[in-house]
Amino acid sequence: MATIKIEPIELKTIDGYDARITGIMTGGGDCFSGEVDMPHGTQSVMWDDYGTARDSDPGCNIRSTDPEFEEAKEGLVILK
């Protein structure tokens, strides 16, 4: 699956961690790649189009109603 790198989109997770979407994935179930600043360090994360983080702490999930996340999803629709 290809990942298209984008200018980072700054977000907050549902637990209030700083997160960045840094790529849009064009295939598979995950749509976005990026990272989350956790208390123990920065963690690489992949999210689906609902903001659910795969194989990560549930606190890494993104609020699906976040305006910045909505903007990222618009970009996803254009690229797919």
pLDDT at 10 (0 to 100): 95
Q: Rounded CA gap, 40 and 65, in Å? A: 27
Listing from the earlier edge strand, what are the strands of the sheet with 32-38? Answer: 3-12, 18-25, 32-38, 41-47
Question: What pLDDT digit, counting tens, does each position of 23-77 carry?
Answer: 998 877 889 999 999 999 999 999 998 999 999 899 999 988 889 998 888 887 7
pLDDT at 1 (0 to 100): 65
pLDDT at 38 (0 to 100): 94
Question: What is the DSSP code (8-state) at residue 52?
Answer: P
With contact defined as beta carbons under 8 Å apart, do 76 and 32 qualify? yes
pLDDT at 53 (0 to 100): 96
* Residue 79 in this model has a pLDDT that exceeds 80: no
pTM (2 decimals)? 0.88
